[in-house]
Structure 1
Amino acid sequence: MSAPLRQAAPAALSLQWPCQPAARATVAACAAPRVSSRRARDATAAAVLQFAAQPASATAAAAAAASCAGATAAAPAAPLAAPPTANSWELIYTRPDPPSSSSSSRTARRKPHPTAAPGTARSQPGADPRLVRLTQQLLAASGSEPGLRAALAGEALAPAELRRLLTYLDRCGAADVALEAFGVMKGLPQYGTDDPVLRTKLIHMLARRPRGTSAALALYDDMRVEGVAPDAVCYNIVLGAAGLGHHWARVLTVVEDMEAAGVGWDAFTLSALLSACQACGQWQQALAWFERAQGEPGLQLNVVHYTTLMSGLQKAGQWEESLRVFRRMEAGGVSPDVMAHNAAITACAKGGDWEKAWAVFLSMRQAGLRPSTISYNALISACERCGQPDRALEVFSGMQRAGAPLNAVTYNTMISACAKAGLYARAQKLHAEMQAAGVADDVFTLTGLITACERIGHWQGAEEHFLGFQARGIQPNTVAYNRLISALGRGGEWERALAAFRSMQHPAPAAGDSSGKHGGNGSWRRQPAAAAPAAEAHAASSPSGSNGSAGDEPRSHSSSSGGGWARSNGSNGSSGGDGGRSGEPAAAPPRYPSSSARPDRITYGSLISALERGGQWERALAAFEEMQSQGIQPNGYIFTSLINACEKGGQWETAVRLFKEMQQRQDISLDSMAMVARKGIYAFPSLIRFMPAPLLQAARATVDSGRAARQWIEKKRAEEKEP
């Protein structure tokens, strides 16, 4: 049976018209094994259902169904009409008025006139030709008030016809045209626009789209100003529109309007309120309204209410409160469904409690519910967040055995779980399986693979994945750049890290550009524009790396303002590249394609750490200054990397200045300051006089404990050596 017929069969069996026996015969005909042609069987059954929509044709429909069921394989029933679309079925079984009993069988058998409403099959019976023509005229006159007025002036529609006209426009996706036409109708005396149902329908058309929520709220305000009283349905729709558009103040005013009008809450009101709280991040108010709803007479809480509240709480970071709501649902006699269990598992994942997530998953299985792909993904995410790759692989295997569909979220979460544990080979295998299954990889896949390479110190693999994904048209985001820069920095490739960083800000320059050239004293500084030609000539004579070619990118990149962080000692990157360590020229970084991604605080932190590892303290300070000029505030990790860089360069005065600046900031954690303090006691005794007494005592205690530990280890080693 085709998909449209499978959808239509339940509605056909529930028909209350006199054609119900014919509909049941039709469904039986659809499954008749003696009809070999599925296309002919479906077409015949569809036509029978169309005829069954007319009560006078019940006998003919039953006869057609019987002939279809009794047809032989050699002579299938001829199709009577093309099967209607899904929209056609909706219009057949939800028509506002029952068909007239005066219509004859001959009329029912006649091929319907092509007057279907827009968005439905042209063979749909019962469409009003006048409304269809008016709909087309309104669509053609969209944006022209005179044209709309001319189309509407010659018509006089009853409220029911107006509502049906709005339905036609809605099916065309023309809610804006419906709003324009309604504004014109208000100026024409023959239209009764004071109908609250009509206005509610128009508000609902606009409220389903985020960009139409403001217009929906404006219609609601006009409705109240003009004295048209909203009912409970209208209030619920308006609440949903205010939440969807993130108009939190309007949500509160509509609730006050309901109370002033004496309109009580129902189940739809609570659902709209909880959804609005979730959209606007008002989890405290959601809990308060949920408690109030429990005391509303006639309002019975259902699983949708609990699930919506749980989702809002876990998205707001209140995962423990979300689990409490789940337990309350079970204790209150409301049976959680799959979506409720999914919300609970996701809350556990957000809270980093994989054991609770596993318990909820098992309770879902014990309740006889079939876990969905979302269920498995949420449980895998919980294991991934908690650093449990073996558990994640176990869930993944169970998911495959259960036949649950694997999507991009499944593979990406699994790759991330393996990446965090340093299981690069397993992450690569998962990526290969992902591609073989036809699941498209994306930037999250890239981030996971780069992280896996970073954990095992394989910067070459990280760079290969990065460039490979870009070549396939997958543009990396800021997170992917952050992981790449960190991987390159951990591998001692500060020049490559700097090249990747610069590609985030502007296109990569070609060979021979005036960016990042040599100067005189080994410091990174903003190079004046006038010095660019001389620097360019100097750079042209410098040797290229073994991996470079004529078109390779220089080792450093200019800033977007035209200057650059210029390396000026004429060396070949002896501090950071492999070539410098071996006495040979370092390989030039690849040309990273330009990107729309922009650096954030993590980006600068990864870059400064890479420069610190490469002994480039002046470049690290230059990056720090640029970060501050971009309005990005440093954290304790960045200060620690800078002070470490100064330690390696013997710049204790600069380290003291940075430590003073760190002390003056209120957003630096005490742990970060204590880390710097311990470093200062060892490397910079001059810092001690700037440390607060509690911090100095903690640092000294840490140092003393470290010394005691080393003394104990040395003592044990000496005892072992004694005969």
Structure 2
Amino acid sequence: HGESRQWQKAVGLLQSLEAARAANIFSYGTAIRACQKCMQWQVAAEILAAMARSGVEANEVVVNAAMSGYEKAGAWQKAVRLLAAMPLKSFRPDTFSYSSATSACQRSFHWQEGLRSLPTMLAAGVTPSHVTFNASIKACERGGMWRLALLCFSDMLEMSCGPTLVTFSSLMSAFAAGTKWRPVLQLLEDMELSSIPCNTITCNTALSACAQSGRWKVACHLLASMLQSAVEPNAISFSATISACEGQWQVALRLLASMSAFETTPNEITFGSAISTCEKAGQWEAALQILTWSFLVRVEPNEITLNSCISACAKAGQWEMALQTLHQMLCQTLQADSVSFNSAINACGQGKQWELSLLILSEFPAVRLLPDIISYNASVSACASASLWQMAIALLEGIGRVRLSPNEISFNASLSALEKSAQWQLACQLLSEMRQVRVVPDVISYNSSISACEKGSQWQVALRLFGSLRSCSLFPSRVTYAAAISACEKSGQWRMALQLLSKMLASRMTPNEITFNAALKAAEKGAQWQLALHLLSSMSTYELEPTISSFSACVVACQRGRQRRAVSDLLALITAADLH
């Protein structure tokens, strides 16, 4: 009965023997093994308990059979308890006992418990087998402990326990999870030296490691090696290689197109990987073309794939295509999530469609979703891009009412709205409020506030904010200097503006066109024609092309300094450069 896995019949026969008081160690053992083979571990546990109640002494064989059942069912706690109880019953756990307990733990993702078995086993003088080591390495893989996995592998080799295909696969997976692509490739070579042939699974693990590390050239080379050898790549192989091609969307498209030549059919993961690669590269048109392709070959995209398409459209400000993809998602009865709606809000914001952003935000309850902080931040940013500071502030205040906490992005988006509308007083107030709610302002927060002061002709407040950066352990950026210099220039504080430029250059920070033009305007207002000419000629040092604004400021400065020759030369340069 046990051999035929007819566990019900075996249990029935055992019950008959028990009724006749004829059950013995052999009948109990046979019934337990029958249950173990059919993964009826609960029944096996009950038989083991009944055996103890009947006074029949168990032996190592019976206990190991029960242990094996627990392992296959992933009943790790029962396996560990049974292993611990064996010495109490005067049973000596053997290699099989420890291996089963370790395997039961790793199958149930309780890898820490599983790893305790190996040192206990060695301390007890029990020699581990390749099964024991494989289970331990697998436990390390489950826990993402590649260093421990490597130690187990070293112990395995020291004890002359030959590694198997399972050993290499588990060790490679542990390294892949830790984004250690070089050791994974080394293990592939070690497999060949050990005369263990690579298969599709091991090669896919190596490709996955390359994908997680962004090693697209190595992944493509490995895939080419698979195509030239007896190892047949599958959709997972191509998906992993395509995922490795982050920033190389054209290579990803070529790989996707080549699959048919190798009689491999793309699946939703393959298409999703290609679309994700295009999304990260900002290639929204290519992403949508791949989506159309997937429909043509009747591969239904999943939510993650469509979210990538919406995100690709959002990054390019293609709000209409983003909404169309979201509509398509809803029509296909796919479960649109917060990511889908947040990307759509962001797309509308990028496309200056703030009304649609707020409309989508209001639709969350209708689809049984709760807007998160990303939803509100995207909506605030949409209002900021349209210079709707009142609406942005209202949304910021609304975040707290829905039991969410505004973060750095929430405040910075609101400050951007205030900056665009020259609301310098509110910007300064909001900057101080950030610390009150335990949100630390960053340099972007200060940049927006300083720019708001610049637009509001508040150069002194701008300089106070600029000066307070150091006390907050922040360093001014090019944008910070440009905003402060411009604030001083617009308020006629040309000396202060030029001092800031000098400070910027002394800190070895490269100015941009905006900074130079602001400094030139300051020199113009101070009639500092020599300095203006020097600044204009210095632009080429930083590989910057003077604009019409640059020349105009310099011309006016020279005119005020009555430098007719210089004015004539500058006008000739403007004409030669065909600036308008």
TM-score bracket, normalised by the shorter chain, equals 0.7 to 0.9
- The partner residue of 1:598 within 440, 443, 447 is 440
C-alpha change, 1:192 and 1:153, in structure 2 (3 Å) is farther
Q: Is residue 368 from structure 1 mapped to residue 295 from structure 2 by the alignment?
A: no
C-alpha change, 1:470 and 1:247, in structure 2 (3 Å) is farther
Q: Is residue 244 from structure 1 mapped to residue 177 from structure 2 by the alignment?
A: yes
* Aligned-pair CA distance for 1:207: 0.8
C-alpha change, 1:162 and 1:700, in structure 2 (3 Å) is closer
Number of aligned residue pairs: give it.
512
* Aligned-pair CA distance for 1:663: 4.0
* Aligned-pair CA distance for 1:304: 0.7
Name the residue aligned to 2:492. 650
Distance, in Å, in 2 between the alignment partners of 1:303 and 1:216 is 28
Normalised by the length of structure 2, the TM-score is 0.76
Name the residue aligned to 2:127. 192
Distance, in Å, in 2 between the alignment partners of 1:615 and 1:325 is 56
- The partner residue of 1:471 within 397, 401, 405 is 401
Name the residue aligned to 2:348. 418
Matched residue type, 1:455: S
* Aligned-pair CA distance for 1:369: 1.4
- The partner residue of 2:213 within 264, 269, 280 is 280
Matched residue type, 2:133: R
- The partner residue of 1:164 within 53, 78, 100 is 100
* Aligned-pair CA distance for 1:626: 3.9
Distance, in Å, in 2 between the alignment partners of 1:616 and 1:351 is 41
Name the residue aligned to 2:143. 209
Matched residue type, 1:365: F
User: Identity of paired residues, percent?
Assistant: 23
Distance, in Å, in 2 between the alignment partners of 1:337 and 1:397 is 23
Q: Is residue 389 from structure 1 mapped to residue 312 from structure 2 by the alignment?
A: no
Distance, in Å, in 2 between the alignment partners of 1:218 and 1:454 is 55
* Aligned-pair CA distance for 1:470: 2.4
- Whether the aligned pair in 1 keeps the contact of 2:118 and 2:132 (CA below 8 Å) is no
Distance, in Å, in 2 between the alignment partners of 1:648 and 1:427 is 35
Name the residue aligned to 2:18. none
1:292-320, Cα deviation, whole Å (9 max, x unpaired): 3333x321121111111222322xx3333
1:237-266, Cα deviation, whole Å (9 max, x unpaired): 212212322445644654564455454432
Matched residue type, 1:214: R
Name the residue aligned to 1:693. 537
- Ranges in structure 2 where 5+ consecutive residues have no aligned partner: 13-31, 49-62, 556-570, 572-580
1:151-203, Cα deviation, whole Å (9 max, x unpaired): 589433454443332243345543212212221111223x331x112211121
- Whether the aligned pair in 2 keeps the contact of 1:341 and 1:360 (CA below 8 Å) is yes
Aligned ranges 1:97-246 → 2 under 5 Å: 97=37, 112=43, 114-115=45-46, 129=66, 154-170=90-106, 173-189=109-125, 191-193=126-128, 195-210=129-144, 212-246=145-179
Aligned ranges 1:645-684 → 2 under 5 Å: 645-663=487-505, 668=510, 670-672=512-514, 675-676=517-518, 679=521, 683=525
* Aligned-pair CA distance for 1:135: 6.3
- Whether the aligned pair in 1 keeps the contact of 2:454 and 2:484 (CA below 8 Å) is yes
Matched residue type, 2:388: H
* Aligned-pair CA distance for 1:277: 2.4
Name the residue aligned to 1:308. 240
C-alpha change, 1:98 and 1:704, in structure 2 (3 Å) is closer
1:330-369, Cα deviation, whole Å (9 max, x unpaired): 4444221111111222222222222222211111111011
Name the residue aligned to 1:488. 418
C-alpha change, 1:450 and 1:231, in structure 2 (3 Å) is same
Distance, in Å, in 2 between the alignment partners of 1:252 and 1:684 is 66
Matched residue type, 1:363: W
Distance, in Å, in 2 between the alignment partners of 1:494 and 1:152 is 78
1:604-644, Cα deviation, whole Å (9 max, x unpaired): 32232223223332333343344356564444322221111
Q: Is residue 613 from structure 1 mapped to residue 455 from structure 2 by the alignment?
A: yes
- Whether the aligned pair in 1 keeps the contact of 2:101 and 2:117 (CA below 8 Å) is no
- Whether the aligned pair in 2 keeps the contact of 1:454 and 1:483 (CA below 8 Å) is yes
Distance, in Å, in 2 between the alignment partners of 1:649 and 1:149 is 85
- Whether the aligned pair in 1 keeps the contact of 2:275 and 2:290 (CA below 8 Å) is yes
Higher RCO, Cα 8 Å, sep 6+: 1
- Whether the aligned pair in 2 keeps the contact of 1:204 and 1:237 (CA below 8 Å) is yes
C-alpha change, 1:329 and 1:654, in structure 2 (3 Å) is farther
- The partner residue of 1:327 within 245, 257, 260 is 257
C-alpha change, 1:417 and 1:112, in structure 2 (3 Å) is same
Q: Is residue 440 from structure 1 mapped to residue 282 from structure 2 by the alignment?
A: no
- Whether the aligned pair in 1 keeps the contact of 2:513 and 2:546 (CA below 8 Å) is no
* Aligned-pair CA distance for 1:445: 0.2
- Whether the aligned pair in 1 keeps the contact of 2:342 and 2:375 (CA below 8 Å) is yes
- Whether the aligned pair in 2 keeps the contact of 1:148 and 1:184 (CA below 8 Å) is no
Distance, in Å, in 2 between the alignment partners of 1:701 and 1:354 is 35
1:64-116, Cα deviation, whole Å (9 max, x unpaired): xxxxxxxxxxxxxxxxxxxxxxxxxxxx9x987479xxxxxxxx9xx946549
Distance, in Å, in 2 between the alignment partners of 1:632 and 1:255 is 48
